[in-house]
Amino acid sequence: MDLLQWLLFSGGHANKIAIANFTHGGSKIRGLKAVADIPANFTLIEVPRALFISGEDIDPRDLSFPVLELQESSDVLLAVKFWQEFTRGRRSQWFPYLKVLPSAMELSRFHPMYADDVVLQACSVLPTMHKVRRAKRRVEKTYISRSYGVVLRSRRGGMKWQPVSVPLADMGNTALQGDVNTRWRYDSRSQVFLLESTRAIPAGSELLESYQVSSLKDNAHLAYMYLCSLSLIGIAKPSSPQLPRFGMTMDGNPVKRLTPQECLKLEEDCLSAGKEKLSQLLRTLVSEHCGNK
């Protein structure tokens, strides 16, 4: 059973779309393609809440060591949830989704948590790099051991967003506002995630989402928050065959606009520092904050 069949079998819908490869930032990445002409205001994807993967679904009793205030580290709990589902293999409810996710090697080519000190310094003007530094410091204070299970350091101040993964919907890529042809929303009454077209989309075109303020998400935030702990702290072993990519958040995350001087420095230093490993991610983030194509 492939991902689209699984979604339909599980109570969701995917209309006139398919997963396909597209070129962004000089690299081929997966996205969503229109397989037929699509009219404006057409529902492309419907994913029921029961199919979301969330750290809220973790039962503290499943951990081998009592942990207080687990809900304050929901990004790490999301990583633990994915780890649990990967270990279940074909027995997992989400197996058709998990098996199409990128490998650990693919993840290392775009995930900001793989940025080394050279990249962090050269790209320091990007807000994402500040988040990465904070996340790495937090990870150093997170204790993981085979003997004592998982002990998470609670974070003060609370979290304003709850990270979740929406199967299939998170395969879509984001773009500058002028290229956007879809919008997404969560219908709290029916508890369904919806992806809809904002204009007519010709067959063969890529479905692109917005990272502007009104869209509730952006590339930088998605890349930062989505399983950063899973990719760095060793919840999943390096030999794990598959690791996930981007996810979604449920609150606003405005894009910071950088000055022309800052953008020029990014073009000169940041993109060259990233080279091949993180080039696609860095080009996307520079475009996001500087408005370049």
pLDDT, tens digit (0-9, with 9 covering 90-100), for 147-169: 333 333 333 334 344 567 888 88
Q: Specify the 3-state DSSP secondary structure of 46.
A: strand
Report the distance separating Cα 107 and Cα 114, nearest Å: 9
Cβ within 8 Å of residue 4, ≥6 positions away: 14, 18, 168
Q: Specify the 3-state DSSP secondary structure of 192.
A: strand
Q: Where are the domains of the chain?
A: 51-175+210-290
- Higher-pLDDT residue of 65 and 18 is 18
Report the distance separating Cα 235 and Cα 280, nearest Å: 26
Share of the chain above pLDDT 90, in %: 21
Specify the range with the lowest mean pLDDT, choosing from 22-36, 66-80, 81-95: 66-80
Q: Is the pLDDT of residue 238 over 60?
A: no
For position 48, what pLDDT does the model report?
Answer: 93
Alpha-carbon dihedral sign for residues 155, 193, 103, 206:
negative
> Quick one: pLDDT band at residue 34, thresholds 50, 70, 90?
very high
Structure-block tokens of residue 169: 């919907």
For position 74, what pLDDT does the model report?
Answer: 55
Specify the range with the lowest mean pLDDT, choosing from 30-39, 172-181, 207-216, 264-273: 207-216
Strand pairing class (206-210; 173-175): parallel
Q: Is the pLDDT of residue 7 over 90?
A: yes
For position 265, what pLDDT does the model report?
Answer: 86
Burial bucket for residue 98 (CB in 10 Å: 0-12, 13-18, 19+) = buried
Mean residue pLDDT of the chain comes to 72
Burial bucket for residue 1 (CB in 10 Å: 0-12, 13-18, 19+) = exposed
- Which whole number is the average pLDDT over 266-276? 78
Listed residue (170, 119, 142, 100) closest to 229, CA to CA: 142
> Quick one: pLDDT band at residue 62, thresholds 50, 70, 90?
low
> Quick one: pLDDT band at residue 224, thresholds 50, 70, 90?
very low
Specify the range with the lowest mean pLDDT, choosing from 33-37, 40-44, 176-180, 218-222: 218-222
Q: Is the pLDDT of residue 194 over 70?
A: yes
Q: DSSP strand E in the chain: where?
A: 13-14, 17-24, 27-34, 43-48, 53-54, 143-145, 149-151, 164-165, 173-175, 182-187, 192-197, 206-210
pTM > 0.75: no
- Which whole number is the average pLDDT over 10-22? 94
- Beta-carbon count within 10 A of 246 CB: 21
For position 223, what pLDDT does the model report?
Answer: 40
Cβ within 8 Å of residue 170, ≥6 positions away: 245, 246, 247, 248
> Quick one: pLDDT band at residue 282, thresholds 50, 70, 90?
confident
